[in-house]
A and B are shown apart, each in its own frame.
Chain A
Amino acid sequence: GENVEQHPSTLSVQEGDSAVIKCTYSDSASNYFPWYKQELGKGPQLIIDIRSNVGEKKDQRIAVTLNKTAKHFSLHITETQPEDSAVYFCAAGGSSNTGKLIFGQGTTLQVKP
């Protein structure tokens, strides 16, 4: 069945360093790849997304890259700040022409001051 693998499960960086989280997906028909940030006690919130007709997208300190051939996509956070500490989820969707998303297992990012 459809599957999204996310690595690493935990990531600790010093403030100001970069953080990279990687995901692979199994369904080659997927065409929508969002990233969500979940803070403690809250629901996930979209931080950036990319569609399959684009290879890279950037929004200030956050960027996402997509390699459709290899079926993987990555989240890059530069100049990390303590408030970036949270759980990050990748997801893949669009293959069944429905709104269904398959989520990765999540990455707990800790940014040390």
Chain B
Amino acid sequence: DAGVIQSPRHEVTEMGQEVTLRCKPISGHNSLFWYRQTMMRGLELLIYFNNNVPIDDSGMPEDRFSAKMPNASFSTLKIQPSEPRDSAVYFCAGSRGHGANTQYFGPGTRLTVL
């Protein structure tokens, strides 16, 4: 099993540009989580899907952020327009079932917005 796959691994963009981060969870993991990690705020949950349906998006910072999960094997996190304060490492994680279980994290995408 390849584990959770995220792309790109690094992204450098200019303020105002659209950024799309991608995630492929482990097959059979029907819960998917997007996190943001910064030194100041630690690991923050942005949004959580179960069976492709958004369950909790209370952590999404503002309307500039959106996430989709069109099928069980693919999810995107989009930032439009991007701002320097969005610079962070973004992780995708997956788990089995709907309750609290082991979450398997991807390698992350390091985003830098200039």
Binding site for B on A (CB under 8 A): 31-32, 34, 36, 41-46, 49, 89, 93-94, 97-106
Contact A98 B99 (CB under 8 A): yes
In this complex, how many residues of chain B approach chain A with their Cβ under 8 Å: the count is 25
CA–CA, A49 and B97, complex, Å: 17
CB contacts between A and B, total, < 8 Å: 63
- Chosen A-B contacts, 5 in total, with CB atoms closer than 8 Å, are A43-B4, A43-B105, A98-B100, A99-B98, A103-B42
Given contacts A99-B33, A99-B50, A43 and B99 within 8 Å (CB-CB)? no
Beyond A43-B106, A97-B99, A99-B100, list 14 extra A-B contacts (CB 8 Å).
A32-B100, A34-B102, A41-B107, A43-B93, A43-B105, A44-B43, A44-B91, A98-B50, A99-B48, A99-B95, A99-B97, A99-B98, A99-B103, A103-B43
